[in-house]
């Protein structure tokens, strides 16, 4: 996310972003725009490295969802690594590759990949199907239970985990600003 996004109240980060940025402004005696510019320069490197944090965050959610299975945390960690890898593969490799191919081969359909086109829902459904199948193979539960837990995991992943991940990325990036 761009540094300025953290200053928009609707995103829910102003409780931490404003005090941190104000502290940096005082420390370096620069403007807020300069801090945001420095943030935007450092953020891509930190956010890519920080994607690894999604794995333990996902494992914590899995351990909570499948507490009755009495599996070691390591097992949840391994499944989380697989789920996060699939998500990264779809979102950051396959979708951009398909988007690029569509733009080169049939440019009149490139709008399918525009923000707000519904592609996020398609990716969410694919990710959900992958999660249900993974839960069935890994935890050996009933399909309806796996579907319910997959929905809970998806909500936790896209709302809670991404929020925590973005918060961590913001704070880590601000260390380097």
- Contact criterion met (CB below 8 Å) for 53 and 168: yes
Domain assignment of residue 104, given as a range: 3-175
pLDDT at residue 5, as a whole number:
86
pLDDT at residue 147, as a whole number:
94
CB atoms within 10 A of CB 109: 10
| For residues 93-116, average pLDDT | 82
Measured between alpha carbons, how far is 149 from 135 in angstroms, rounded to an integer? 9
Q: pLDDT tens-digit profile of 67-103?
A: 988 889 999 999 999 999 999 999 889 988 988 888 8
Q: pLDDT tens-digit profile of 12-42?
A: 888 999 999 999 999 999 988 899 999 999 9
Measured between alpha carbons, how far is 174 from 46 in angstroms, rounded to an integer? 10
Per-residue pLDDT for 4 more than 70?
A: yes
CB atoms within 10 A of CB 171: 13
Number of compact structural domains in the chain: 1
Residues 6+ apart with CB under 8 A from 124: 154, 158
pLDDT at residue 110, as a whole number:
74
| For residues 38-67, average pLDDT | 91
Backbone angles phi, psi at 52, to 5 degrees: -60, -30
Per-residue pLDDT for 66 more than 70?
A: yes
User: How far apart, in Å, are the Cα atoms of 74 and each of 36, 50, 52, 151?
Assistant: 38, 20, 15, 22
Q: pLDDT tens-digit profile of 118-172?
A: 778 888 899 999 999 999 999 988 889 999 999 999 999 888 877 888 898 899 9
- Sign of the torsion angle spanned by Cα atoms 67, 63, 160, 88: negative
Per-residue pLDDT for 9 more than 70?
A: yes
């Amino acid at each position: 996310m761009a540094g300025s996004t953290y200053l928009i109240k609707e995103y829910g980060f102003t409780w931490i972003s404003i005090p941190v940025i104000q502290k940096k402004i005082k420390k370096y005696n620069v403007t807020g725009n300069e801090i945001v510019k420095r943030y935007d320069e450092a953020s891509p490197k930190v956010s890519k490295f920080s994607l690894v944090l999604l794995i333990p965050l996902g494992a914590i959610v899995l351990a909570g969802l499948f507490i009755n299975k009495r599996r070691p945390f390591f097992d949840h960690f391994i499944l989380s690594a697989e789920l996060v890898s699939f998500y990264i593969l779809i979102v950051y490799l396959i979708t951009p590759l398909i988007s690029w191919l569509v733009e080169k081969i049939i440019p009149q359909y490139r709008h399918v990949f525009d923000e707000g086109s519904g592609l996020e829902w398609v990716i969410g459904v694919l990710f959900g199907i992958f999660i249900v199948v993974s839960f069935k193979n890994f935890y050996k539960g009933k399909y309806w239970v796996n579907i319910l837990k997959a929905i809970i995991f998806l909500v936790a992943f896209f709302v809670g985990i991404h929020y925590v991940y973005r918060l961590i990325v913001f704070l880590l990036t601000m260390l380097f600003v």
